[in-house]
Amino acid sequence: MKALKTLQRLLSLLLPLRWLVLLAIVLGCLMIASNMGLLGMAAYLIAAAAIVPFLALLALPITIVRFTGVARPISRYAERLLSHNVTFRLLARIRVQVYQRLEPLAPGHLLTYRSGDILARLVADVDELQHLYLRVVAPFVVAIIICIFTWAIFAIFSPLLAWVALAFLIVAGLGVPLLISRLTRHLGKRQLELRAAQKDCIVEGLQGIQDLLAYGQEQQQSQKLAQLDAALSKIERRLALLTGLQEGLHDLVMHLALWTLLVLAIVLVSTQAINGVYLGFLALLILASFEAVQPLAQALPMLGHSLAAGERLFAITDASPAVEEPVEPRPRPIASDGYGLSFDHIDFAYSADDGDVLHDIHVAIRSRSRVALVGPSGSGKSTLAQLVVRSWDATRGMLRLNGEDVRNYRLHDLRSLVGVVTQDTYLFNDTLRNNLLLARAGASDDDLRAVLVQAQLDEFVRTLPRGLDTWIGEQGLRLSGGERQRLAIARALLKDAPILLLDEVTANLDPLTEHALLDVLDSLMQGRTTLFATHRLVAMERMDEILVLHEGRIAERGTHAQLLQRNGLYRQLFDLQNNIVTFAEV
């Protein structure tokens, strides 16, 4: 039932291209009909030439042979061209549509998938659909038309012959392949899963190569890959066995059909029910019909692969996004005197199964103020900051931007107001220039230079032989940690958004680099409403307010001086970091 529904959904994707599909079907019929015409008429001519005294009487069959001889290659070529065109256009469209569906799922839902698995779905699974679109849809319709056509021709000579021929065609074209398809369906699904796991193993192995080498685990990773390969080969062997079996059965049915029909026809000829001159014609016609249903017979067992791939793709497109777009969105807010945020009694849980990680967060953040979120690891700093860009929505309570619920703005509008720098801002394997332009396409070189100066990266860029056109490697691997962070800051400066989220920006840096970067951050925060999540209590005196989070609650709030005076959790964390007390004393 599920397979039928998937098939129906996959077929509905063809609707926008229905006229091209129809044309491919017409061309397919023409190709097969001309093949049948060529073979059938050739057989008839040979038999008839012996008994027909004047060649002129054979003018029509001769014309048919000449016409079909030319029509066959032309229609074959046009049909192939068109089918491939339709299929690969559709696959490209599906791939983009699935990819676009990934974006609203990020980051919440995507965490449940592995990168290799997503890669496999977008590349290999989409490719699997070609079995359906290229080799099943049009060939199926063509095969049905051919069956009807064959039946009609045989019926002219004898209804008995017609029904027997049709029965054999149905068994060869549909019965055998559907039987094999039932056997291969679960294998096809397993094959896709194993291929995805294989890709994931390779992607993970490459991403974690340094740690694998450091821990001497590279052998284990190759063993894992070898095990997956072995499992995959086993499945592929079984699939090859079944496909071979299917081809053998098809040939067997075809031979049985040929002999049965020939014997029947000879009996009918001997009883004068059929003119003997048509015997060769009928024999070649049945051979041509079997040849016509053969592509479908070969493709049908692979239908299981397409259905399994379709199910895996629909699992992505059907997943509900972590956050929804508003039904009636408010226009993008424009506030000349800045943007304030207010968290109204917010509770948050990552999923219904998990407990709340934020409890009753109730705080207003004035426009253009700098607020630090500090607290022990896991206290909820990043989670709270991420609510601002609606990576997730609050489970209870409301987050307002200048008094309006953030859920009432288009996601794009809301996010365009926020600049984000995290400890692992993603840098693309591209030039410095293009990594910056991500924040504002079309920015001039002067704009780029200005933000590089502010981010104190201009001198570094000047030392590079290719300047802004230098490739920075995958994830900015050719840059040091400090340079990567400065580039991320320059990017945020270029975006020039009025709200800023800084999440552990200095976490991976040495004290000297951290110190230098704090000045850069200072200029970035200038005039922007800033949430600065950090567990490092440095430069806290530059903050207007500090919120100390503990187990998802605001445990303390105030300025650096007020919190130190209070002698609470903040003081403990501060003393611990500055080696004033030891961990045991806290």
Where along the sequence are the contacts to ligand ATP (CB under 6 A)?
111, 350, 354, 357, 375, 377-383, 504, 535
Q: Report the nearest approach of ligand ATP to the CB of residue 251 (Å).
A: 56
Helix/strand/coil for 528: coil
**Nearest approach, Cβ of residue 354 and ligand ATP (Å):** 6
To the nearest whole angstrom, how small is the minimum distance from the Cβ of residue 561 to ligand ATP? 24
Nearer to ligand ATP, 378 or 511 (CB): 378
Q: Report yes or no: 432 and 461 within 8 Å, Cβ to Cβ.
A: yes
Q: Which is nearer to ligand ATP, 277 or 363 (CB)?
A: 363
Task: Spell out where 390-524 has E strands.
Answer: 396-401, 404-405, 418-422, 499-503
For residue 29, give the nearest of 169, 151, 142, 150 by alpha carbon: 142
Sequence-distant (6+) residues with CB within 8 A of 497 are 416, 417, 418, 419, 528
* Closer residue to ligand ATP (CB): 149 or 350: 350
The answer to whether 492 and 421 are in contact (CB under 8 A) is: yes
Nearest distance, CB of residue 350 and ligand ATP, angstroms: 3
Q: Which amino acid appears at position 51 of this protein?
A: I
As a whole number of angstroms, the distance between CA 398 and CA 259 comes to 78
Whole-angstrom distance, CA of residue 213 vs CA of residue 206: 11
Q: Given the complex with ligand ATP, which of 221 and 391 has the nearer CB atom?
A: 391
Closest CA to 325 of 419, 421, 415: 415
Report which residue type is found at 436.
L
Shortest spacing between CB 343 and ligand ATP, in angstroms: 14
Which among 38, 90, 80, 36 has a CA at the least distance from the CA of 63? 38
Identify which of residues 274 and 374 has a Cβ nearer to ligand ATP in the complex.
Answer: 374
In this complex, which beta carbon is closest to ligand ATP, that of residue 212 or of residue 358?
358
Q: Which is nearer to ligand ATP, 205 or 375 (CB)?
A: 375
Name which of 340 and 552 has its Cβ closer to ligand ATP. 552
> How many angstroms separate the CA atoms of 465 and 561, rounded?
47
Cβ atoms < 10 Å from Cβ of 318: 10
Q: How far is the CB of 101 from ligand ATP (least distance, A)?
A: 20
Query: Taking the complex as a whole, how short is the minimal distance between the CB of residue 501 and ligand ATP, in angstroms?
Result: 12
CB of 552 to ligand ATP, least distance (A): 7
CB of 12 to ligand ATP, least distance (A): 34
Token pair for 543 = 């903050």
Report the nearest approach of ligand ATP to the CB of residue 210 (Å): 22
Q: Which residues contact 41 (CB under 8 A, 6 or more apart)?
A: 61, 64, 65, 68, 281
SS3 state at 536: coil
> Please, what is the minimum distance in Å from the beta carbon of residue 389 to ligand ATP?
14
Q: Given the complex with ligand ATP, which of 301 and 380 has the nearer CB atom?
A: 380
Nearer to ligand ATP, 111 or 209 (CB): 111
Burial 187-207 (b: 16+ CB within 10 A, else e): bbbbbbbbbbbbbbbebbbee
How many Å is the Cα radius of gyration of the chain? 35
**C-beta closer to ligand ATP: residue 83 or 379:** 379
Q: Report which of 418, 496, 134 is spatially closest to residue 299, judged by C-alpha positions.
A: 134
Query: Which long-range contacts link 9-17 to residues 24+ away (Cβ below 8 Å)?
Result: 9/310, 9/314, 10/129, 10/132, 10/306, 10/307, 10/310, 11/137, 13/90, 13/93, 13/94, 14/86, 14/90, 14/133, 14/137, 17/86, 17/89, 17/90
- Measured in residues, the chain has a length of 586
